[in-house]
Amino acid sequence: RLYLAGLWNTFQGEERFVILTTAPNDTIINVHDRMPVLLTDDEVTPWLHNTGMASAKLTALQPGLDGAAV
């Protein structure tokens, strides 16, 4: 599974969603200057309920992608 961190809200009667990005890791840096914030299975619930964890995740270096995750 691959989870991307994002934010959802209703604005002026429309549902809106954005995928959050961060600086690229070593796997992505040669392809693009940004990458999605990735979440593991264990990080999904804390992402939704723990502001401190979410803040730390946004600034942490993202893990490299292995062949199984692609």
Instruction: Give the pLDDT score at 37.
Output: 92
Q: Using one digit for the tens of pLDDT, what is the confidence trace for 20-38? A: 998 888 888 899 999 999 9
Q: What is the mean pLDDT of residues 47-64?
A: 85
Q: What is the pLDDT of residue 65?
A: 64
Task: Calculate the average pLDDT of the chain.
Answer: 87
Examine the pLDDT at 13 and tell me if it is beyond 90: yes
Strands 6-11 and 3-4: unpaired
| pTM of the complete model | 0.74
| Paired strand residues for 6 | 19
What CA–CA distance (Å, rounded) separates 25 from 35? 8
Predicted local distance difference test score (pLDDT) of residue 59:
81
